[in-house]
């Protein structure tokens, strides 16, 4: 059996802002890469708990961050930051992290929902400060479904269908247990939600790394018809590759559901494809 990774609380320093995070390192050094895992609206870094053991067993470090306005930075940023400002803060955090840690081949961006939006902002405005390998998002679309137009808060009533989908897609007790992961959505983040389609149109042409977009079968936030998805992918004109993946028997919170392992294995396979050849060949050994 693979030994469980050591996951420890970590602090990222980002131009005067301290961000809380979880850091997990593989059993081998250096890591093949460092995965920046970015949670969605109203969640926390622990959303990625089930992903971390698989990633570290494959030789990657995982840096799961509480986004600006969440966790330790909530007191300093009571109104939060816009998505663009969050990306700027993460750039500063990654640059500082790379100064003090071996990050392997570079950083790989893994984002969920609004975290995927932040990941897109981060990729589009990278500027070469740190090496970025790929961009992998789940539950992050282009055009909202009409039923999502009123954007109910993650913590408010009526949001269950949008944020979860059918509850049988998750292990028993998941929704109740996930309350420990929840946090208020900062006002500045909520206020710009409706502007995302235009933001994506501006950002997409500046993304220069491989992109993978995953959508759950029971995703309710987004239009997922072929026309809309083609319009989305066609805007990523400078990305060397764009992949759209559909995950059956899954709801919006993919990493908390019964099909989380399938999704995570596919995410790691995509990361393998983004790595330089020498790094791809160096996989972490399994510990018995």
Domain for residue 248, yes or no? yes
Greatest alpha-carbon span in the chain: 51
Domain for residue 116, yes or no? yes
**CATH classification at residue 181:** 3.40.50.1820
Q: Evaluate whether 100 touches 175 at the Cβ level (below 8 Å).
A: no
Residue 38, judged by CB atoms within 10 A of its CB (0-12, 13-18, 19+), counts as: buried
Predicted confidence pLDDT, tens digits, the chain (288 residues): 345 568 999 999 998 999 999 999 998 789 999 999 999 999 999 999 999 999 999 999 999 999 999 999 999 999 999 999 999 999 999 999 999 999 999 999 999 999 999 999 999 998 888 999 999 999 999 999 987 866 555 444 557 788 899 999 999 999 899 988 999 999 999 898 889 999 999 999 999 999 999 999 999 999 999 999 999 999 999 999 999 999 999 999 999 999 999 999 999 999 999 999 876 544 544 433
Instruction: Tell me how far apart the alpha carbons of residues 201 and 235 are, in angstroms, rounded to a whole number.
Output: 7
Give the pLDDT score at 279. Answer: 63
Task: Round to the nearest angstrom and report the end-to-end CA distance of the chain.
Answer: 5
Give the pLDDT score at 158. Answer: 56
Domain for residue 2, yes or no? no
Q: Evaluate whether 108 touches 134 at the Cβ level (below 8 Å).
A: yes
Residue 160, judged by CB atoms within 10 A of its CB (0-12, 13-18, 19+), counts as: middle
Domain for residue 72, yes or no? yes
Domain for residue 287, yes or no? no
Domain for residue 1, yes or no? no
Domain for residue 94, yes or no? yes
Angle at 275 between CA 271 and CA 281, to 5 degrees: 105
Could you tell me the CA-to-CA distances from 128 to 1, 12, 91, 106, 123 in Å, in that order?
A: 39, 19, 10, 11, 10
Encoding tokens for residue 130? 């740190």
- What's the sign of the alpha-carbon dihedral 190, 127, 67, 274? positive
Report the domain count for the chain.
Answer: 1
Helix axes 114-124, 83-100, angle to 10 degrees: 70
Domain encompassing residue 215: 7-281
């Amino acid at each position: 059996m693979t030994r469980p990774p050591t996951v420890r609380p970590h602090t990222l320093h980002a131009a005067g802002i301290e961000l809380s995070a979880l850091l997990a390192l593989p059993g081998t050094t250096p890591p093949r890469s460092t995965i920046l895992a970015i949670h969605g609206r109203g969640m926390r870094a622990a959303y990625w708990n089930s992903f971390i053991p698989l990633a570290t067993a494959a030789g990657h470090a995982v840096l799961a961050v509480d986004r600006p306005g969440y966790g330790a930075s909530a007191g300093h940023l009571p109104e939060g930051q816009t998505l663009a400002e969050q990306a700027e803060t993460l750039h500063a955090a990654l640059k500082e992290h790379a100064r003090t840690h071996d990050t392997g081949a570079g950083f790989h961006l893994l984002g969920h929902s609004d975290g995927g939006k932040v990941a897109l902002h981060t990729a589009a405005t990278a500027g070469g400060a740190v090496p970025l390998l790929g961009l992998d998002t789940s539950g992050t679309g282009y055009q909202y479904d009409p039923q999502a137009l009123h954007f109910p808060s993650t913590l408010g009533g009526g949001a269950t269908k949008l944020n979860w989908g059918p509850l049988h897609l998750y292990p028993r007790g998941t929704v109740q247990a996930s309350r420990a992961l929840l946090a208020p959505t900062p006002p500045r983040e909520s206020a710009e939600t409706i502007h995302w389609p235009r933001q994506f149109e501006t950002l997409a042409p500046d993304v220069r790394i491989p992109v993978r977009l995953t959508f759950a079968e029971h995703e309710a936030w987004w239009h997922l018809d072929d026309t809309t998805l083609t319009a989305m992918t066609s805007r990523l004109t400078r990305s060397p590759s764009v992949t759209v993946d559909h995950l059956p028997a899954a709801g919006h919170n993919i990493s908390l559901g019964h099909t989380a392992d399938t999704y995570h294995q596919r995410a790691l396979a995509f990361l393998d494809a983004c790595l330089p050849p020498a790094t791809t060949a160096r996989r972490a050994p399994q510990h018995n």
